[in-house]
Amino acid sequence: MRIFFRIVGVACLFLFVGLSFHVLDLQSLFMQMRSLLHRPILLALLVGLYGASFLLKTYAWRLYLHEKITLREGLYGLLYSLLVNHLSPLKIGDAVRIAAVTKRGRVSWAEAAQSVIVMRLLDLLILGLFGAFGTLLLFQQLSVRVLLFVLGCVLMLIIALFLRHKAPSFLQKQLQQLSSALQGGRGAAIVLLVAVSWIFEAFVIFGISSNVSFWEAVWVNSVTIAGQVFQLTPGGVGTYETVMTFALRAVGVPVQKAYEWALLSHGFKFLFSYGAGLLVFLIYPIQLASYLRYKKKGETNEWRK
């Protein structure tokens, strides 16, 4: 299964290189970029909405942890995670996310780690539902519906089999935790906050594109983010652009425009991650080397830096 994930990731990178070779028009891309830069109100709105998506995720995470962390600590953790995942090809951002919320000692390392896993599972579940419902609602041709729906189901089945094979008891425990967390009013609020956060993130591609409806943008964003399970490069460079280009093509966008919008939206997210990450580092610095040293010694509950 791990080999399969890597093969798909490498295939996406090759497709990205092929797209770049056949489609990339620097003059057209610069014109698109200049047009976007000449709309400062739109850019400010996209920054605000994209930032709000992380605020909503933070609030959902805080609810899951029964308010043991402050909204500020949770947001710092998410933005640290975003920064590190855009700097490293390895998905190690969650380790920094855990470090940020355990810094004050109100949450143990084990509790923080378990909450991150559950929130990740919830993200994938909601993105999968958006992708599935979007496929059924947006596409009129039955053949396209069936193809996309089957591909999505196969992908989710492969991921589930991979997790079950690698850690059956671990997966069962996390699913039980997720099921328990989603019960009652608190659980409904968590699901709603996470779902709306992904809708807010879809405003990025909706604002950058010119002829994509909002619900098409939500579907495109959901498929693209779900496709990052195949990430092999920092920030998913190559994988993100390939998946988004093909998703935009599926809703009728010409391939050159789809490719350019994918580049611009990903570039926007890179700049946001670096800007927000640097700001958080200045406001709420953590010494990751010290944290990992404590973790290695099994002393994460005593982590205070």
Helix, strand, or coil (residue 148): helix
Q: How confident is the model at residue 187 (pLDDT cuts 50, 70, 90)?
A: confident
pLDDT at 305 > cutoff 50: no
Question: In this prediction, what percent of the chain has a pLDDT beyond 70?
Answer: 78
Alpha helices in the chain (DSSP H): 2-23, 26-37, 40-64, 71-85, 93-102, 109-138, 142-166, 168-181, 184-201, 203-208, 214-226, 239-250, 255-283, 288-296
Dihedral angle at the C-alpha atoms of 186, 192, 198, 202, nearest 10 degrees? -160
CB 174 within 8 A of CB 118: yes
Displacement of CA 144 from its chain's centroid (Å): 25
Q: Which of the listed ranges 177-181, 215-219, 278-282 does the model predict with the highest average pLDDT?
A: 215-219
**Higher pLDDT among residues 146 and 183, named by residue:** 183
Residue position matching structure tokens 């605020």: 55
Q: How confident is the model at residue 241 (pLDDT cuts 50, 70, 90)?
A: very high
What is the structure's pLDDT at 144?
57
Q: Which amino acid is at 101?
A: V
CA gap 97, 34 in Å, rounded: 35
Average pLDDT over residues 149-154: 64
CB 291 within 8 A of CB 97: no
Helix, strand, or coil (residue 65): coil
What are the distances in angstroms from CA 303 to CA 23, 121, 236?
Answer: 50, 26, 31
CA gap 63, 168 in Å, rounded: 27
pLDDT at 186 > cutoff 80: yes
**Stated pTM of the model:** 0.84
CB 188 within 8 A of CB 62: no
The predicted-structure confidence for 72-84, as pLDDT tens digits, reads as follows 889 988 998 999 8
Q: Which amino acid is at 58?
A: T
**Higher pLDDT among residues 159 and 266, named by residue:** 266
CA gap 199, 219 in Å, rounded: 9
Question: In this prediction, what percent of the chain has a pLDDT beyond 90?
Answer: 35
pLDDT at 71 > cutoff 70: yes
What is the structure's pLDDT at 143?
56
Tokens of residue 228, six digits: 């990052």
Q: How many CA atoms lie within 13 A of 120 on its CB side?
A: 16
Q: What is the largest CA-CA distance in the chain?
A: 58
Closest CA to 268 of 176, 207, 204: 204
